[in-house]
Structures are given as structure tokens and as C-alpha cells.
Amino acid sequence: MTTPTELSEPAAPGSRAGHTAAARPRKPGRVRRLSKRDKVVLGIMVGIPTLVQLAFVWIPTLLSVLLSFTRWNGLALSDIRAAGLANYSYVFTDNPAFWPAVQHNILWLLFLAVIATPLGLLLAVLLDQQIRGSKIYQSIFFVPVMLSLALVGIIWQLFYQKDNGLLNFLLGTAGTPQAVDWFGNSSVNIWAALVAATWRHAGYVMILYLAGLKGVDASLKEAASLDGANATQTFFRIVFPAMAPINIVIVVITIIESLRAFDVVWVINKGTNGLELISALVITYLIGEGQSIGIGSAFAVILLVISLVPITIYLSRTFRKEKF
Amino acid sequence: MSASTTARRARPAKTGAGHGRSRPHYGTHIFLTVMAVMWMIPLGWALFTALRPKADTDKYGYFSLGGAFNFDNFAQAWTQGGFPRYFMNSLIITVPTIILVLLCSSMMAFAVSRVNWKFNITLLIMFTAGNLLPPQVLATPLFEMFKLIQLPYWFSDSGSLLNTYISVIIANTAFQIGFCTFVLSNYMKALSADLTEAALVDGAGIWRQYVSIIMPLCRPAIAALATLELIFIYNDYFWPLLFIQSGDRLPVTTAINNLQGTFLSNYNLLAAGATITVIPTLVIYLALQRQFVAGLTLGSSKG
């Protein structure tokens, strides 16, 4: 779980703007000034990380694509058979879990985008005002962000249990036949899992927006209020647009988090019975019974293709102005 | 800042003093307090359950205040759940990973941000993109690759990289390098070019520039990233789940899931186990909060 790739982003534009000017003069010809020894050192400094990155991230990704066109039980390499598009046609037409998984991934995205992310933004806006105890509130909302999603699943399991969980006590249904098994009942467990995921996501969004709000020039807000704009207008017309770079980061994080969602459902029931997700299907076919590497890889490739959309948006925004 | 903005700022500051700043924000406080209480309920409930002996919750029910409150469940979960072993495993995996990640990413970041050469942006994009992929995309081939790598049995009892700490360390390192390289390269880019220009004139080689000029200046960024990575790796559930089959080699975060089986329906013990797992992250957060916040505003302070 690593989405904070973007953590430094809100801060970057300011610092970059200040520095590109200073850094300008060192444009061409730097490499020529390097000695032979420097070139070797540089080669090692670039070579080792690049090799690690290629060998354990990009080559496996490429192999996922290749394996998705084969039939293999994962035992001997000589057993790999070409399968053409058979895995994909199986996934799209015959696999009973695929379309539910797609629906759940979309639902996950919508829930985070419509509820968790705006909630995080709201908390950030409220806490950005100079109110008493702001630091305490921030710490409370931030605690779940420090926890692993697996642990989040277990903690909420204690809360959601059918007969001994707090929620059913509060609803007055604990011990009665009406008691809902929140994580077990396939018609509600996705929602229960989404609430648990929101608990963590909203705090994350809050902390990113708090940093973003601090970066908005105060004179902009004052100018707006001088012009007679009220707080809501100032926020939506001035402050929110001024945070464009961080908004992109949040959009990308939200999409990627919803594609990466795995730990919570795996902890609950290994992504079955109402909690199917594409990421969980990949692993089910890898380590589950009836191992089928080809089908698992087809799921992985579908996940890859979808992920490339937010990744491309993010990269093109981040590196667009980048010229050395 | 131009003179006009300063002049403009002076006026609303006066009216604002009586208006916006000292307004009590009752509504906001009520909303935030309600949210904060709701936010604390899941963890609070786990802690509440963990503090009560099973016999008392069986007698009075979980939703009650009757009976004793003590740390017996924690002691029992600690020994029965095998926590010392799991924490040790977490340590064995986390520490080398952080060192490897920071070493590799700082070298890479230095090369792409302080030296101008043909493919530096291309490589930086590749590193950043790699970190954004869902890990499940590369899980299957990585698993098969590790299975195919033959190792002597004195080194690995599986005869391959599977079921070793090293497999988890490698996967985590490869996955985290991209993120740290991206952050550090932004940070290093913001350092003045004159620093290394001067060193170059003095005849300092690339390695000297990296070790004695750039790295010392990056100390705050390194500290912030080390804190973030500590949390990330400690919280990693996926890679050990995939690669490690022997229960006694799992790190805490992955092992906690097995406790559901070990403790069966003893929710008090499970709650205690969950709480024990939370403690290190909270300690790190409280002790290194400054580094953590620094991680968020990285690059802006160092101008």
C-alpha cells in the first residue's frame, strides 16, 4: 500500500518554481565534464535500482501479459501451452465471479469518490479554520490511516459481529433473529467493508487536503471576501480551483485505492460471497484450489489495463512541464 | 509579493478580527466532536473488549460494564498468539527493506535530478509508474519466478526463494523504490545547482557529491521517508501472504489474520491481539509525528 507517491506533490510546485530559474544555467554538456570514473559510478548508481525495478516490477508485469495467453497449472515450465484468447473469453463470458467483481470495484470507486473523499475534504476545510483543538481532531481522524487495511478489517469485524458486535447491540438486534451478520451476509457485506475502508480513506484525504489548504495564498481568499463572496462561494470558486494540483493527486489516489482494494476483503472471507474484487480473483487463481495461472493472469491484465488510465493521467500531469 | 497585495491584505485583517477569526464555531465543534467520537468507536470497542476477561463478557454480555477490567487478555494473546516471534519477523523484514529502499532510491534520485543525461526523465517516469501499479498485477509471475530460483537447502528449506524473508524484502524494496525516488528527486531538484557545480570545480567526483554534499542536505527528507516506509512495510499484508507459507515466519500484520483461527471465537483475545498490533504504529506516530508531517510538506521548506 503505497499510494502516497503524491504526498510531496502539493509542496512541489512552489519549490520547483523557485528553483528552476536558479538551476537553468546547468543545461547542456554536463555529462561531458564527467570523468571516466564518474561515469562508472553513475552507471552503478543508476544500474542497480533500475535492475531491481525492471526485474521485480516491470518484467513480472510483462510476464503477466504473456501468461494471460497461456494455459498453465503453475508446476513445470514445460507444461505451459498457448491458449490464445481462451482465458479472456472464459473470464468475460463464463466466470461467475468476474462481473460481480467489476461491479464491486466500480462501487468501491464510487463510494470512495462520493462519500469518503468529500468527507475527508470537509474535515480538512473545517479543521483548517483556526478552531480550538484542531490538532486533537486531526490526530483522531488520522489514526486509522496508520493502520493496515488488514487490521482495519479485523477491528471492524469485532464491531460488526452478529451476536457480540457493538453495532447490533446499538441497533437492538443482537441475539435476535433479525441480527445482521454484517460481514457474512452477501447482500450487505460490501457496504460494511466500504464503511470500514472509508474510515481509513477519509483521514488520508483530510491530511493531504490540509497540506493543500495551507498552500493556498491567503490573499486570494481575502480578495474574494472583499469582493463580497461568502465562505461557500470563496471555497468553491477560489480555494478549490487553486488546489488543482492536489485535486488531481486525490482523484488518482481514490481510483488507485479502489483498484488496489484487497486486504480488507481478503481478511473477511478471501473475496468471496458478495465481496468479489478483481484483485482478489488474481490471488484466488494463484494460490487457491484448481490453480490456473492463465486465468489469474487474465484478471491481472484487466486490472493492469484499468490502472493504466489513472497512472497515465497522473504521470502526464506530473511530468508535462518537466524539462531539464 | 507586490505592494498591492500587502495593502489589500491590511484591510480585511481588521474587519476579520472582529468577525471570522474569533467566531466560536459552535456548529463546527458539534459536527467534529460527533465525527471524532464515531471515529474512535471501532478502536475503542476493540480496546474495551480486550480489557475484559472472557468469563465476565460471557456472564454479563459484551455490551455491558460488569466484571473486571485487566490486561490478562493481552498477556495471554501475547504468549498464546506467538507475538514475540511475529514482531521479530516484522523487524527482520522491515529494517533491511527500509535501508535498501533508501539507498537505492537516493542513488537513483541523485542520478536523475543532479546529473543531466538522456534517459533520466524516462527512467523517473518508469519508477514512479511502477509504484502506482496494484501489486496483484505482478504477483503471479513474481511468485513463479521466486519458485523457480533454486537455492541450496541450507539456505532455504523450500529450496527456492519462496517462504524466505528475502522474498518479501525483495518485493517490498522493488515496489517502494519508485515512490522514494520520486519524492527524493523532487527534493534534490530543489537544491541549488551551485552546490554541486562548486564541488565539480573543486574536483569532487560524483560519489563525493552524492555522499558529502547532497545526502547530508537530504537528511530531513530521508528521515520523513524512513518514517513513512516504516509504517508502510510494517503494515504490508500482501507480500508475506503470497510468499510465506510457514506461519512462524509471518510478520505481525499478516499473522494477525491467522489469530482468528487460533483464538476461535474468543473475541476478547482477538481484540487484545488486534490492539497489540496497533501499538507499534501508534508509538511511531506519536514519537515521529514531526517527521511524518514533514513527509507531507516535503520539498516546500527547503527552497
With bands split at pLDDT 50, 70 and 90, how would you rate the model's confidence at A321? low
If asked whether residues B95 and B66 sit together in one domain, one would say no
Q: Does the residue B183 lie in any domain?
A: yes
Q: Say yes or no to pLDDT of B57 above 60.
A: yes
Residues B61 and B186 in one domain: no
Within this chain, do residues B236 and B134 fall inside the same structural domain, yes or no?
yes
Q: Is A82 helix (H, G, I), strand (E, B) or coil?
A: strand
Give chain B positions within 8 Å (CB) of A50: 108, 123
pLDDT at res. B293: 65
Query: Quick check: B173 pLDDT over 80?
Result: yes
Beta-carbon separation of A41 and B207 below 8 A: yes
Answer for the pair A270, B260: CB distance below 8 angstroms, yes or no: no
What's the CA gap between A222 and A214, in Å, rounded? 14
| C-alpha–C-alpha distance, residues B39 and A324, integer Å | 46
pLDDT at B135: 93
In a domain, B2, yes or no: no
Examine residue B4 and state whether it is found in any structural domain, yes or no: no
Which of chain B's residues have a Cβ under 8 Å away from the Cβ of A256?
132, 134
Counting every residue written for chain A, the total comes to 324
- Same domain? B113 vs B56: no
Confidence of residue A8 (pLDDT cuts 50, 70, 90): very low
Interval B101-152: pLDDT, tens: 999 999 999 999 888 888 888 899 999 899 889 999 999 999 999 988 888 8
Q: Are residues B59 and B112 in the same domain?
A: no
Helices (H), chain B: 3-16, 26-50, 54-60, 72-80, 83-114, 120-132, 136-148, 165-189, 193-201, 206-208, 215-217, 219-235, 238-243, 252-262, 267-287, 289-296
* Band (B204; pLDDT cuts 50, 70, 90): confident
Residues in Cβ contact with A131 at an 8 Å cutoff, skipping those fewer than 6 apart: B25, B28, B29, B32
The predicted-structure confidence for A140-197, as pLDDT tens digits, reads as follows 998 898 899 889 999 998 899 887 888 888 888 877 888 888 888 888 899 999 999 9
**pLDDT per residue over A222-248, tens digit each?**
888 888 888 888 888 888 888 887 888
Residue B191: pLDDT over 60: yes
How near does any CA of chain A get to the CA of B199, in Å?
A: 12
- The owner of cell 452477501 is A186
Q: Domain of B66?
A: 25-70
Shared-domain flag, residues B34 and B146: no
Mutate which: B73, B253, B292, B296, vs A, most A CBs within 10 A: B296
First to last CA, chain B: 16
Statement to judge: residues B66 and B87 lie in one domain: no
* Virtual torsion, Cα B126, B235, A251, A201, nearest 10 deg: 180
Q: Is B116 exposed, middle or buried (0-12, 13-18, 19+ CB in 10 A)?
A: middle
DSSP H helical ranges for chain A? 12-23, 36-53, 59-67, 86-89, 98-111, 117-128, 134-142, 149-160, 166-171, 189-214, 218-226, 231-233, 240-242, 244-260, 263-269, 278-287, 293-319
Q: Identify the CA nearest to B268 among candidates B20, B77, B3.
A: B77
- Cβ contacts of A266 on chain B, cutoff 8 Å: 237, 241
CA angle A161, A184, B253 (to 5 degrees): 70
- The answer to whether residues B253 and B144 belong to one domain is yes
Same domain, B59 and B136: no
B217-269 pLDDT tens trace:
999 889 888 988 898 899 999 999 999 988 889 999 998 888 777 777 788 88
Q: What is the mean pLDDT of chain A?
A: 83
Residue B19 lies in a domain: no
* Most confident among A22-26, A53-57, B20-24 (mean pLDDT): A53-57
Query: Which range has the worst mean pLDDT, A261-270, B4-13, B31-40, B122-131?
Result: B4-13
Indicate if B90 and B180 belong to the same structural domain: yes
pLDDT digits (tens, 9 = 90+) for A28-50: 444 456 788 888 998 999 999 99
- Over residues A108-149, the pLDDT tens digits come to 999 999 999 999 999 999 998 878 888 899 889 988 988 998
Residues B189 and B53 reside in one and the same domain: no
Determine phi and psi for A177, rounding to 5 degrees.
-65, -20
User: How far apart, in whole angstroms, are the C-alpha atoms of residue A312 and residue B61?
Assistant: 53
Report the gap between the CA of B154 and the closest CA in chain A (Å).
23
Of the three residues B49, B70, B91, the one that is the final residue of a domain is B70
CATH code assigned to A3-24+98-319: 1.10.3720.10
- Are the beta carbons of B299 and A148 separated by less than 8 Å? no
Work out the angle at residue B239's Cα, subtended by the Cα atoms of residues B236 and B242, and round it to the nearest 5 degrees.
Answer: 140
Output the domain CATH number for residue B162.
1.10.3720.10
Are A322 and B121 within 8 A, CB to CB?
A: yes
Share of chain A above pLDDT 70, in %: 88
User: Whole-angstrom Cα distance, residue B286 to residue B276?
Assistant: 16
Query: In a 10 Å sphere around its CB, with 0-12 CB exposed, 13-18 middle and 19+ buried, how is residue B201 labelled?
Result: exposed
Residues B118 and B221 in one domain: yes
The whole-angstrom distance between B169's CA and the closest CA on chain A is 11
Enter the C-alpha cell of residue B293.
508531517
The predicted structure's pLDDT at residue B300 = 31
- Number of domains within chain B: 2
Which of A64, A136, A322 is the closest to B140 by Cβ?
Answer: A64
